[in-house]
């Protein structure tokens, strides 16, 4: 997101929060279709695997309810 900020396309005031805040319930997610979610994923592949496994298990739990 550095380049869009440097080019003035994205400003600090446009940013609402971090994904972790939304997942943890500290901030609400999108409230209408006009809001845009922007997620830039960088990091370790193992973290991606752990997160995917967590959500997969949650989906299976919700399916059985």
Which H, E and C letters describe 17-47, residue by residue? CCHHHHHCCCCCCCCCCCCCCCCCCCCCHHH
Residue 47, both tokens: 């973290």
Report CA-CA distances (Å) from 6 to 11, 16, 38.
9, 18, 16
pLDDT at position 18 is: 87
pLDDT at position 45 is: 86
36-50: b (≥16 Cβ within 10 Å) or e: eeeeeeeeeeeeeee
Below-50 pLDDT ranges, the chain: none
């Amino acid at each position: 997101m550095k380049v869009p900020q440097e080019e003035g396309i994205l400003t600090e005031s446009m940013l609402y929060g971090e994904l972790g805040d939304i997942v943890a319930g500290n901030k609400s997610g999108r409230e209408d279709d006009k809001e845009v979610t922007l997620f830039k994923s960088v990091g370790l592949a193992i973290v991606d695997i752990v997160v995917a496994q967590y959500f997969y298990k949650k989906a299976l739990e919700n399916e059985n309810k």
